[in-house]
């Protein structure tokens, strides 16, 4: 059998792909994976991870994506076939990738704001909940990496969410001497906590809801956890940092109440990172007097740049975070509907979906 015939045989095997037909309705459909074109990679998925954005899209759709659509965008796998002109990867290579990449030539790319490039999210790769996935040339060229042999596929699939966290903290620039409060004990909140602790930040406090999530945060290394629904929560946060309150608050709930809580808790002269994206049409009630006279700095980071992806890759490849510990459930692709039921109930941080 020639190499071309062998490659064609790879693409003709039974493949499945999860389709989000409408909010709340997933279908696992048979399909034939396409042959990779110039610069592209066809990969066999080894792990896809559940994600907060996936959950929000599952619940209500997404303003940037039209349904029905292939679903899932955090993944790692093995190259099944490399397209013409690909030199950095070959069949059999284990890889990890972010699902987007900027054009490199537009106004925003030229100003170092590649995260705002229309191509970045506009041409996002969907379809990670599948057996096979085609990686387009622009992603292969800029945001795809060889997976280190000792890095589990589950941890490698964290490259995309970790890139978002790296971008946010690059904007916030936490100092080792500071006290940081992370509002929200979900997967993103705990990724922020892990990166802060790896950077040597003195005190990282996670504010969350639910005994189980607070337990997970403590086990993963939070210096302190605060129950958000406790009557003493506000007073407990105010006592931090010698009674001045946190230097930096990072909001990870994606709810307006969380944004307002972050603004209320940070100290005078402090910084607030509004990380979690709120539903469309919501508005924030901002105390302009506090904003001005308390000299607050507000940041609302979105997405990531190639340099953030590179840094996230270095953190994962160097095993600096123990980030894989936030993946605390594993399910088969056939059971994807059950994964979203678990996410709705809040009984899992991140679930590894294994084809």
CA–chain centroid gap for 260, Å, is: 23
Q: What is the mean pLDDT of the chain?
A: 94
Q: Is the pLDDT of residue 7 over 90?
A: no
Q: Is the pLDDT of residue 2 over 50?
A: no
Q: Which tens digit of pLDDT belongs to each residue from 240-262?
A: 999 999 999 999 999 999 999 99
Q: Which tens digit of pLDDT belongs to each residue from 90-147?
A: 999 999 999 999 999 999 999 999 999 998 988 999 999 999 999 999 999 999 999 9
Residue 3 confidence (pLDDT): 44
Q: Which tens digit of pLDDT belongs to each residue from 53-67?
A: 899 899 988 888 899
Q: What's the full length of the chain, in residues? A: 355
Residue ranges covered by each domain of the chain: 3-157+322-354, 165-299
Q: Where are the alpha helices (H) located in 90-186, listed in sequence order?
A: 107-110, 118-122, 137-143, 153-156, 159-172
pLDDT band of residue 5 (cuts 50, 70, 90) is very low
Cα(118)–Cα(310) distance, integer angstroms: 20
- Please tell me the pTM assigned to this model: 0.94
Q: Is the pLDDT of residue 8 over 50?
A: no
Residue 94 confidence (pLDDT): 98
Q: Is the pLDDT of residue 6 over 80?
A: no
Q: What is the CATH number of domain 3-157+322-354?
A: 3.90.180.10
Residues pairing with 281 in the sheet = none
Q: Residues 72-99: what's their mean pLDDT?
A: 98
Cβ–Cβ < 8 Å for 44, 53: no
CATH class of 165-299: alpha beta
Q: Is the pLDDT of residue 11 over 50?
A: no
């Amino acid at each position: 059998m020639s190499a071309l015939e062998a490659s064609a045989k790879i693409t003709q095997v039974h493949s499945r792909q999860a389709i989000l037909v409408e909010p709340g309705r997933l279908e696992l459909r048979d399909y034939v994976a396409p042959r990779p074109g110039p610069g592209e990679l066809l990969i066999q998925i080894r792990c896809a991870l559940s994600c907060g954005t996936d959950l929000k899209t599952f619940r209500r759709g997404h303003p940037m994506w039209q349904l029905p659509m292939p679903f899932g965008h955090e993944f790692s796998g093995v190259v099944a076939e490399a397209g013409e002109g690909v030199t950095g990867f070959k069949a059999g290579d284990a890889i990890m990738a972010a699902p987007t990449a900027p054009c490199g030539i537009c106004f925003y790319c030229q100003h170092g704001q590649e995260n705002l490039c229309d191509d970045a999210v506009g041409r996002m790769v969907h379809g990670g909940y599948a057996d096979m996935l085609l990686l387009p040339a622009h992603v292969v060229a800029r945001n795809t990496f060889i997976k280190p042999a000792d890095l589990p596929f589950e941890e490698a699939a964290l490259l995309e969410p970790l890139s978002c966290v790296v971008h946010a903290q690059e904007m916030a620039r936490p100092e080792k001497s500071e006290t940081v409060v992370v509002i929200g004990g979900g997967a993103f909140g705990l990724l922020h906590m892990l990166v802060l602790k790896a950077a040597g930040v003195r005190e990282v406090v996670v504010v969350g809801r639910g005994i189980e999530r607070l337990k997970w945060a403590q086990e993963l290394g939070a210096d302190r956890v605060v129950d958000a629904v406790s009557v003493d929560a506000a007073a407990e946060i105010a006592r931090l940092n010698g009674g001045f309150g946190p230097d930096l608050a990072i909001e990870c709930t994606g709810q307006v109440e969380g944004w307002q809580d972050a603004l209320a808790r940070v100290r005078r002269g402090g910084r607030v990172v509004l990380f979690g994206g709120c539903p469309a049409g919501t508005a924030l009630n901002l105390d302009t007097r506090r904003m001005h006279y308390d000299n607050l700095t507000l940041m609302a980071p979105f997405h990531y740049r190639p340099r953030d992806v590179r840094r996230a890759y270095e953190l994962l490849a160097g095993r600096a975070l123990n980030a894989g510990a936030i993946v605390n459930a594993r399910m088969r692709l056939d059971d994807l509907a059950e994964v979203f039921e678990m996410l709705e109930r809040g009984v899992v941080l991140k679930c590894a979906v294994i084809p």
